[in-house]
Structure 1
C-alpha cells in the first residue's frame, strides 16, 4: 500500500464521526451498529462506549471477533478493519472516553457500573477507493503518524 493511500485511510479514520461496528450474535450471524468514533490510537486501536448490559457488550463477551468500518459517502471511500474487541470496565479506559453529556446515559459518571468501553484491536484491513481494494496488515501503518 502506498504512503499516499495509507495517509488517505488514516485521514478517513481521523475525520470520522461514526464507525459501523459489527459483532457476531449467539446464532452466529453478523450484526452491525453505528457508534460514535470517540478515540483512536493510530490505525490499530479504536474505542467505543456503551452500556455494559447492552446487546453489543454481551456479544463481544461471548465472541470477541469484530469488524469496524469507516466511510466517506461523498468520495465513496471505505476502510474496513478486522480484529477483536475487549470489553473494558477499568477506570483508565472509562476516563479515556468520558465526554460531557454522558451523564444522561450514565448518571453515576465514570463510576457508573453500566458504563463500559469497547476496545477494538485491528489485525488487518481493506481500504477501498476509486474502484480498487487495498488489503493490508496493520504493520504497514507503523510509519503513519498517530
Structure 2
C-alpha cells in the first residue's frame, strides 16, 4: 500500500498540479480495499468539492495507475473500477449485482505453470484473472 504523501510525490514527478481535489482523491483511495468507480469517488467527494469533475477523478487515477500505485480495471465497455491492490490477484464479478471481490492466487505456482506449459514464454509481467458468476446472495435469491 502507499500513503497520500507518496501519491503526492508521484503526481508531482509526473508534472501534475497538486490541488485540494487531487489530495482528496488520494485520501479516498489510500488503504481502500474495495474497487471504487470514478462515479463512486466523485459522489463521495463532490459534496465537499462541488467544482470537482469526474474527469478530474479519471485523470488523477490514470496518473496513479501509470505510476503503479493503483490498477484500472476495465470490466466491459461500461464499467471501470480502480483497484488499490497492485499485487497479483484475481477478481470475481457477480454478473447480477456487480459485486467485485479480490481472489488470492498462488502467484508463484501460477506463473511457474504458465511458463512450463508454454516453452515460448520467456517472461510474464502481468496477469489479469477474472471469474464471472453469481455471488452467494444472488444465487440464493434466484
Q: TM-score range by the shorter chain?
A: under 0.3
TM (norm. structure 2) is 0.26
Higher helix residue share: 2
Richer in strand (by share)? 1
Q: Say which one has the larger Rg.
A: 2
Select the structure with the greater relative contact order (CA < 8 A; seq sep ≥ 6). Answer: 1
TM-score normalised by structure 1 residue count: 0.25
